[in-house]
Structures are given as structure tokens and as C-alpha cells.
């Protein structure tokens, strides 16, 4: 049975946050009641192995505005957000982490900016309470690179506290690890994007799910992001651009490889000058074309591949409104 729409959905993906979820629900509830808006709190459990689900299910039985969606295994934060976006009833969607580092007191500011007409409001943890070398420094470098690459001027692409216009975010492709780059994806399609300074608290319970190893993914993500923002619909165009210089240089090398300019005849194949270079250039040109065709096929397959699978074997997944 479908439920009626609301003003706001607070979307919280969680993974092993058993000591944080109760306090977070209380904090969000207090803030949202002050706003006077209709709302729901939607938790998406990303395959937790601790008591996170037990504690949330106990609260859903007592609280009408709290709902829980469970994924069958740990699919990652992007997939958890995608599941939440698909099921959110709010006209506005505010996302936040489940570790109590984001502050619910910032939510009204996001709603006010969305009321002004922005499609996406990004949080900026200017006074971030994380370790410098393992978290803040790599994040700062990545944010600078992202701003340069995409043209979207944001200080903190990775902040989980964001506000979205639901009609807009539901139309964006959300998969792989692209949740960090939503501002860039939004900016590439002409969205109105702004950012606001938010509070950030030290983690009190549990352990961070991210480490320095995530930094090495940034370079790959930057290349992928550039392709997504320019050639997502037709990757063949991207790889085709790389094949053009290969074929062009091959055409330039050919006369110096197989043609004797003094006689105007073809050179004997046993005495050619640059055969390896020519063969390599032609090979690379066809390689990029074939890679582009395979990417086109992959894009069409991915459109029909599920990003996540819900856990439906337990009836008390969501509470009724």
C-alpha cells in the first residue's frame, strides 16, 4: 500500500552503528518537530552484522515516522543511498551519516536553502573533527582536484550531510562509488548547487568505515567522473576521441614507412623504416574503438542491472505510517 507524500525525508544509510542510532533518531525528531514540517526518518541498513537492525526495528514499532529498509548484504554507501532515494516520500531529502558526527541542528538550514530554489545543498565541514593525515589531508587534495576538474566550486564533496530536491535527485544516476561526487554530477546537468558550513563532531562510538586506502581510489574516480559528466550516455565518443590521434599519426607515418619518395613506389616490406610504430598506432586506434563499443554495451546492460537487493525475508522491515 502506497503512503502519502511528505515535506521532508531524512535519509540515513548505516552499517554497524548500534551505539549511535537511538540517539540520532531522538536528535532528528527534536529538530524536525520544531520545523513544523511533515517528515519521515528513513534508515537504510547496509548489511550490518551487529545489533543495529535490532535496535532500529524496536524503534520502528514504537515510532510512526521511522522506517527501515534492509539490504541483503553490504553493497556500499552509494547503493544504500540509491535504495533510500527510491523509497523516500519527502519533497526534500536530507542525507546524513549514522555516526553522530553530523548534527541534526543543521537540517533547518538545508531546508531553508531548498525553499529558495536550490536543487542541491552541500555541507562543508570547515572545522572537521577527523585525523589530519588519514582523513582531512587526502580529502582536501581530492576536493581541490574535483573543483578544478568539474568547475563546481565546493569545499567538501565528501560530506554526507546534503539536501536534495527529490524530483531532481531521483533522476540522477547513482551507482558505484559516485555518492561522493553528487555535486559534480548535479552541476554537469545544470543544477542549482550551493554549500553551507555545518557542524562536525568527533566520533564517540564505533569505528570509522573509511581509511587512507580510499585515497588511492580518487584518481580512478576522477577519470570516471570526467567521463560521466561528459560522455556517460555515449562512451564511444570518449574512446573515439582517443582513437583519432592514433589513426592520424598512423596516416602520417605510413608515407615514411612504405613509400619511396624518390621513385614514387612502395618500399619492399623487408626494408621498411617504421613498421612497429605504424602497427602500434593502428592497433591502438582500433583498440580504443572496440573499447568504446564494449562500453556502450556495458552502459546498456547496467541500465537493467539492480544496484542493490532488499532483504525481504522478515515482515517487520518497515513500520506503517
pLDDT, tens digit, 9 for 90 and up, residues 170-216: 888 776 666 777 887 787 677 899 999 999 888 776 565 555 555 55
| 29 Cβ contact partners less than 8 Å away, ≥ 6 residues apart | 41, 63, 65
User: For residue 244, what are the CA distances in angstroms to 185, 254, 297?
Assistant: 27, 15, 21
Any idea what DSSP says for residue 62?
Answer: H
Per-residue pLDDT of the chain (321 residues; tens, 9 = 90+): 346 689 999 999 999 999 999 999 999 999 999 999 999 999 999 999 999 999 999 999 988 899 999 999 999 888 999 999 999 999 999 999 999 999 999 999 999 999 999 999 999 988 776 666 656 666 677 777 777 766 677 788 888 999 999 998 988 877 666 677 788 778 767 789 999 999 988 877 656 555 555 555 665 666 666 666 666 656 666 677 778 888 787 777 766 665 555 555 555 554 455 567 777 778 788 787 777 777 666 666 555 555 556 665 544 444 333
Q: What is the pLDDT of residue 284?
A: 83
Report the candidate in 163, 97, 154 with the shortest Cα–Cα distance to residue 130.
97
Q: What is the pLDDT of residue 270?
A: 47
Percent residues over pLDDT 70 in the chain: 66
Which cell goes with 272?
Answer: 621498411
Report the candidate in 188, 284, 275, 294 with the shortest Cα–Cα distance to residue 241.
284
Which cell goes with 318?
Answer: 518497515
Q: What is the pLDDT of residue 74?
A: 93
The pTM assigned to this predicted structure is 0.71
Q: Are 198 and 95 in contact (CB under 8 A)?
A: no
Amino acid at each position: 500500500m502506497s503512503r502519502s507524500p511528505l515535506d521532508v525525508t531524512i535519509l540515513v544509510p548505516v552499517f554497524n552503528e548500534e551505539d549511535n542510532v537511538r540517539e540520532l533518531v531522538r536528535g532528528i525528531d527534536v529538530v524536525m518537530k520544531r520545523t513544523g514540517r511533515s517528515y519521515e526518518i528513513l534508515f537504510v541498513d547496509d548489511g550490518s552484522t551487529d545489533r543495529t537492525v535490532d535496535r532500529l526495528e524496536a524503534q520502528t514499532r514504537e515510532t510512526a515516522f521511522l522506517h527501515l529498509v534492509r539490504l541483503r548484504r553490504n553493497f556500499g554507501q552509494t547503493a544504500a543511498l540509491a535504495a533510500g532515494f527510491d523509497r523516500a516520500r519527502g519533497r526534500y531529502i536530507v542525507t546524513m551519516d549514522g555516526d553522530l558526527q553530523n548534527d541534526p541542528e543543521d537540517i533547518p538550514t538545508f531546508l531553508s536553502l531548498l525553499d529558495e530554489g536550490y536543487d542541491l545543498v552541500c555541507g562543508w565541514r570547515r572545522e572537521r573533527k577527523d585525523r589530519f593525515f588519514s582523513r582531512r589531508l587526502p580529502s582536501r587534495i581530492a576536493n581541490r582536484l574535483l573543483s578544478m576538474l568539474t568547475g563546481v566550486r565546493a569545499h567538501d564533496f565528501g560530506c554526507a550531510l546534503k539536501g536534495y530536491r527529490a524530483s531532481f535527485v531521483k533522476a540522477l544516476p547513482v551507482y558505484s562509488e559516485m555518492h561522493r561526487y553528487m555535486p559534480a554530477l548535479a552541476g554537469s546537468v545544470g543544477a542549482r548547487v550551493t554549500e553551507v558550513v555545518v557542524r562536525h563532531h568527533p566520533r564517540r562510538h564505533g569505528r570509522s568505515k573509511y581509511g587512507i586506502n580510499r585515497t588511492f581510489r580518487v584518481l580512478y574516480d576522477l577519470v570516471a567522473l570526467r567521463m560521466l559528466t561528459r560522455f556517460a550516455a555515449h562512451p564511444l565518443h570518449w574512446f573515439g576521441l582517443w582513437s583519432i590521434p592514433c589513426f592520424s599519426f598512423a596516416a602520417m607515418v605510413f608515407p615514411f614507412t612504405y613509400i619511396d619518395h624518390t621513385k614514387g613506389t612502395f618500399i619492399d616490406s623487408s626494408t621498411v623504416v617504421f613498421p612497429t610504430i605504424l602497427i602500434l598506432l593502428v592497433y591502438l586506434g582500433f583498440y580504443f574503438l572496440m573499447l568504446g563499443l564494449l562500453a556502450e554495451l556495458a552502459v546498456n546492460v547496467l541500465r537493467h542491472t539492480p544496484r542493490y537487493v532488499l532483504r525481504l525475508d522478515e515482515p517487520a522491515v518497515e513500520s506503517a505510517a
